[in-house]
Structure 1
């Protein structure tokens, strides 16, 4: 498998362009194109733009830019899947498992929940990590650890349930406890050591790591 891909989707724009040097593939959906232009993103770094191109204004602008740059335009008209879902399928076909995503949160909240649903569908196939202005967030395996986090906010969100959770390195640890959406969740905890480890037996768990 190839190293790492970067994908921009149609949520809140990052304030600045992330460091592009660590990525072997960079892509965006057509809905993210508007904020990349505002950020003065170097379009020669893009490998492809995908989407259903339902806005003629955006489509015309993308086609015009494609004439001056080498990125590929991939139409994905299937209305049974989101543009994010279809972009991930393209990236997987190109041989990537590690994908960083910007623009996954913010904007219309049904989009945000839809993006989490897509990430959940791919959680066993991809190492998928979201970034926004407040945190990074992603689904974690049953045995997980993260370093260099002392003092950072750590939230654990069951999706919808995670059982027998054991944590080390958090201010408020969990000892063989359950988190259940609608009953008890693990938001706004704090890392009190440089390394945090989390183990759980059943279910699925989404972690948010503050900046």
Structure 2
């Protein structure tokens, strides 16, 4: 079983992303995310995608510098490059999956990538999406939240309703509360110390930690 997999995909990436890659991580580069890893001096274990965001010369570099390259036709495919990478990673049954570059200027792609958290939850794999301002994960039962430089914590339902929400260690506590899709009640909470606990009975709850 692969303990931790990091996927770099084609959204916004920068120097900040390198700090989230640890020795021993299995690295997957989706489309131009593979090129990003190579330019940082890292070797993708797997490069995957249609590679329509890179030049022919860059694709040659990706093929030469990656452990394995999986290329597909940009038209005849059912999934985005990021979803292909996530599905590949989930097949490896990791303990943790980190997505870098999953958020960017294309809101449709960003939102689709957030929805991939629900796909991973079906297989009981913990996934976190990270960029320079946000850290996004999904709570399905009990989750310990660590501050880690993100002072704001917002809770948004990903299912139609989330029931039995209890917050411990937050400025604005909840006890056995419910949130329904379309409510903003859970926006901009704050941890009182370095950690807090979210407990829920039913549903899918997005936990979005952020900093300005």
Please report the TM-score for the alignment, with normalisation by the length of structure 1.
Answer: 0.85
- Say which of 63, 66, 72 aligns to 1:66: 63
Give the 3 Å change call, closer, same or farther, for CA 76–122 of structure 1 in structure 2.
farther
Deviations 1:11-41 (A, max 9, x none): 111333424333431111113245446xx31
Structure 2 residue ranges without an equivalent (≥5): none
Equivalent residue for 1:103?
A: 101
| Contact preservation (8 Å) 2:134, 2:150 | no
- Return the offset for 1:91: 2.1
Give the 3 Å change call, closer, same or farther, for CA 179–193 of structure 1 in structure 2.
same
| Contact preservation (8 Å) 1:156, 1:207 | yes
Structure 1 residue ranges without an equivalent (≥5): none
Deviations 1:83-103 (A, max 9, x none): 111112222334434211101
Question: Greater CA deviation, 174-183 or 130-139?
Answer: 174-183
**Number of residue-to-residue matches in the alignment:** 206
Give the 3 Å change call, closer, same or farther, for CA 208–183 of structure 1 in structure 2.
closer
Equivalent residue for 1:29?
A: 30
Equivalent residue for 2:71?
A: 75
SS in 2 for 1:186: coil
Equivalent residue for 1:190?
A: 190
- Return the offset for 1:209: 2.1
Which protein is richer in strand relative to its size?
Answer: 1
Equivalent residue for 2:90?
A: 92
**Separation in 1, partners of 2:5, 2:114:** 18
Please report the TM-score for the alignment, with normalisation by the length of structure 2.
Answer: 0.85
**Separation in 1, partners of 2:142, 2:51:** 41
| Contact preservation (8 Å) 1:4, 1:24 | yes
